[in-house]
Amino acid sequence: MRRHIMAGLLAVGLAAPATAQDKASVGYYPGALISMPVLVASERKFFEKNGLTVELVPVASGPAMTSAVASGSVTFVNNSWDNLILAVDKGLPVRAVAGSTVKVPFALIARKGLPLPHLAEGYPADIKDLVGKNWGVLALGVSVHFMAQTILTDAGFKASDATFLAVGLPNTARPALQRGTVDTYLSIEPLPSIVAANNEGTVVVDLAKNQGPKVFHDLGYNGWWASSATLKDKPEVVARFTKSLEESYCWFSRPENLDEVVTLMKKYVKVPDLSDDAFKTMVKGLLPTFGPEITSRTIDIWSKLLVDNKQLAASKTRQDVVAPTARESFRCPG
């Protein structure tokens, strides 16, 4: 009976009183802008408004996010779709409940001093300058590695036309670029903005701006997961969480709130290498990459990428990995 009452209240947009059950812990990436929707929802008290008490839990990596939600130590996590597909394929009891990005938030950086005679021609011509070079990636055999290979092969070259080197997260990739250990690195913000602002290199391909292979255009990259147990036993908690994220998205997407969004993000993401103007430009540029929907195309493409790279035996569909309650499309009211 309580579940039906909760569902009715949520359906008409009313917040029912919070109870001991209406609590959740949420994993986010410390020092990264990619978890912005949940940070805004917390700071702007959208969770409280929707009757949910949330504890934000810093989690360092995608694999750690997977372990945390599958074990039940964290209620919701922020993780990529390729990781979700692989987790479900391995039998882990997890499903996606909401989207977070609707564009791939990565940019391919070329180090300072690397000749780029084809840069002005844009993609795919500019990839000619990177053939035969050392391409830095987070790790070998993971989605970022496969994405970098796709940028190369879609431009008409072979994956073997470059040497791929694992250089870790941006904090270790930056010195690798500075030393010339690698010539390129595929990164999320804030490294592309730092490199551009400090004349340490050049952004050659910005996937977030729909540059590069068409397969990555307007493609979701990550979202929010919960355990199957949470979906079954606490559907009202999931409903409160996803509604809060939608309200967060609609709020931070409005141009008049940009300055407040920037101030909020500075609290969580310290980037001393960027001026105030450069930080604001970075945040403004990222806003269009977010969205709460999860499209079938997104799951299909990440599945195919994993199959093509022999990480997955057979493709998964949206129905296989996404909760039935998750939105496939979304528009802010009004």
pLDDT tens, 55-107? 999 999 999 999 999 999 999 999 999 999 999 999 999 999 999 999 999 99
Specify the 3-state DSSP secondary structure of 204.
strand
pLDDT of residue 334: 82
Rounded to whole angstroms, the Cα distance separating 51 from 74 reads: 18
pLDDT of residue 100: 97
Tell me the domains of the chain and their CATH numbers: 2-102+220-321 (3.40.190.10), 107-216 (3.40.190.10)
- The answer, as to whether pTM is greater than 0.85, is yes
Two structure tokens written together for 27: 């994993």
Q: pLDDT below 70 — which residues of the chain?
A: 1-21
pLDDT of residue 146: 96
**Closest alpha carbon to 107 in 35, 212, 30, 37:** 212
Rounded to whole angstroms, the Cα distance separating 304 from 319 reads: 15
Sheet holding 134-137, edge to edge: 163-166, 134-137, 184-187, 107-111, 201-206
pLDDT of residue 54: 97
